[in-house]
């Protein structure tokens, strides 16, 4: 069988696609994962998604689609997790280029379907914000999902829409999403996480980290992002659901508005108009602020003292877990220090690591 999985939001959705591929199909003939190169500023200091010109070593698949092999590299100062995923996972990762809008992405999908002649095409979103209307006050990153939704709806090939871990992206609560989803596809288990386990040791995705942790049994409340948003970890968190693609498009005002766009600039304009913001603007503002901050040296004793204070506050807020991205930012460290922080914490307090999350100890 030949399968194509479209990672709706890029980043962690690509890791989840590899997990789902192995869980659903056994991984004997790994799928192709079509994904954005769009990482958080901790990894990629350049705002917005990367295009083919931002990489060296890509491998052409079709006229408009290129694969990202393990020996590809982002052109500095850009960064990307995709070459690392390609090096460690058996799936082939192909690059979505959103810079020509939804119409450009439809061309990419059409070319890839003609090239692969796949038995199935799945569109996967971790968290479920792809099912948004666009005006929800908790929505933070609608643009990427709206683009993939719009493009997949225009593809002349059956596409199955899957939502993994409803609510785990911290945007739309699971209670809101429940009526927008239909059949249960499967509940992920620790065995399903195993193929991507090594990747989760370094990949910065928060939603997919929580998806994996809940599949391994973690329950409670996890604090994420720089704002410290609390996300419930429940029995529903590791479940993958199906949703109706056409209903999602009918509901998603941004996806409908951008169907005929020919540039990412146009998509951003619609996002500002319909959602009130563009997440790339947020990244631009944050990148500018981060570039003005002095590099802070990681002092182990000081960091562990700060960690104690952070954990005390987290307990008071009812938090049981947090992500390493949240810890890095809460402790005032930069993206380049994320791996050093992780190494320090795992060596000094290994009992608190509930992979791939950090467990907040209960009060002694």
Assigned domain for 282 exists: no
Task: Tell me how far the alpha carbon of residue 187 is from its chain's centroid.
Answer: 19
Q: How far is residue 167's CA from residue 173's CA, in Å, rounded to a whole number?
A: 5
Torsion angle of the four alpha carbons 32, 10, 157, 62, in this order, in degrees rounded to the nearest 10:
-60
Instruction: Read off the tokens for 195.
Output: 């193929």
Among 257, 274, 289, the domain-final residue is 257
**What is the pLDDT at residue 291?**
84
Average pLDDT of the chain to the nearest whole number? 95
Q: How far is residue 223's CA from residue 314's CA, in Å, rounded to a whole number?
A: 8
pLDDT at 175 over 90: yes
**What is the pLDDT at residue 363?**
79
Do 170 and 242 lie in a common domain?
yes
Assigned domain for 274 exists: no
Do 91 and 200 lie in a common domain?
yes
Assigned domain for 344 exists: yes
Assigned domain for 336 exists: yes
**What is the pLDDT at residue 226?**
83
Instruction: Read off the tokens for 288.
Output: 């500018």
Model pLDDT for residues 180-237, shown as the tens digit of each residue: 999 999 999 999 999 999 999 999 999 999 999 999 999 999 999 988 899 999 999 9
Model pTM?
Answer: 0.97
**What is the pLDDT at residue 293?**
80
Do 241 and 332 lie in a common domain?
no
Assigned domain for 347 exists: yes
Q: Position of tokens 């090096």? A: 87
pLDDT band at 336 (very low <50, low <70, confident <90, very high): confident
Do 137 and 209 lie in a common domain?
yes
pLDDT, mean of residues 46-61: 98
Task: Tell me how far the alpha carbon of residue 63 is from its chain's centroid.
Answer: 26
Do 94 and 182 lie in a common domain?
yes
pLDDT, mean of residues 38-52: 94
pLDDT band at 290 (very low <50, low <70, confident <90, very high): confident
Percent pLDDT > 70 in the chain is 99
Do 244 and 304 lie in a common domain?
no
**What is the pLDDT at residue 364?**
64
Q: Give the count of domains, the chain.
A: 2
pLDDT at 27 over 70: no
Do 239 and 181 lie in a common domain?
yes
Do 229 and 309 lie in a common domain?
no
Do 127 and 208 lie in a common domain?
yes
DSSP 170: S
Rounded to the nearest 5 degrees, what angle is found at the Cα of 257, between the Cα atoms of 251 and 262? Answer: 140
Assigned domain for 283 exists: no
The domain in which residue 346 lies consists of 300-359
Assigned domain for 287 exists: no
Assigned domain for 223 exists: yes
């Amino acid at each position: 069988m030949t399968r194509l999985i479209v990672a709706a939001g890029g980043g962690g959705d690509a890791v989840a696609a590899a997990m789902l591929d192995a869980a659903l199909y056994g991984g004997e003939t790994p799928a192709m994962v079509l994904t954005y190169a769009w990482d958080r500023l901790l990894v990629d200091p350049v705002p917005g998604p990367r295009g083919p010109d931002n990489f060296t070593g890509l491998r052409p698949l079709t006229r408009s689609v290129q694969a990202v092999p393990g020996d590809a590299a982002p052109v500095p100062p850009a960064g990307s997790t995709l070459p690392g995923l390609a090096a460690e996972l058996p799936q082939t990762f192909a690059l979505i280029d959103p810079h020509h809008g939804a119409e450009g992405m439809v061309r990419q999908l059409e070319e890839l379907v003609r090239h692969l002649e796949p038995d199935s095409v799945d569109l996967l979103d971790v968290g479920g914000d792809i099912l948004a209307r666009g005006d929800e006050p908790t929505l933070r990153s609608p643009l990427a999902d709206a683009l993939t939704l719009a493009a997949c709806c225009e593809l002349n090939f059956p596409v199955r829409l899957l939502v993994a871990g409803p609510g785990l992206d911290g945007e739309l609560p699971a209670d809101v999403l429940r009526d927008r989803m239909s059949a249960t596809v499967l509940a992920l288990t620790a065995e399903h996480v195993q193929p991507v386990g090594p990747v989760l040791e370094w990949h910065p995705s928060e939603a997919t980290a929580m998806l994996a942790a809940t599949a391994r049994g973690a329950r409670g409340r996890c604090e994420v992002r720089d704002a410290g948003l609390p996300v419930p970890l429940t029995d529903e968190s590791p479940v993958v659901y199906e949703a109706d693609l056409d209903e999602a498009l009918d509901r998603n005002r941004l996806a409908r508005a951008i169907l005929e766009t020919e540039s990412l600039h146009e998509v951003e304009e619609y996002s500002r108009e319909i959602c009130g913001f563009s997440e790339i603007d947020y990244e631009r503002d944050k990148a500018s602020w981060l570039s003005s901050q002095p590099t802070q040296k990681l002092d182990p004793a000081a960091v562990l003292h700060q960690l104690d204070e952070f954990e005390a506050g987290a307990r008071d807020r009812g938090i049981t877990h947090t992500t390493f991205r949240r810890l890095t930012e809460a402790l005032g460290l930069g993206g380049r220090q994320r791996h050093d922080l992780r190494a320090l914490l795992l060596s000094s307090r290994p009992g608190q690591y509930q992979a791939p999350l950090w467990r907040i100890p209960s009060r002694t």
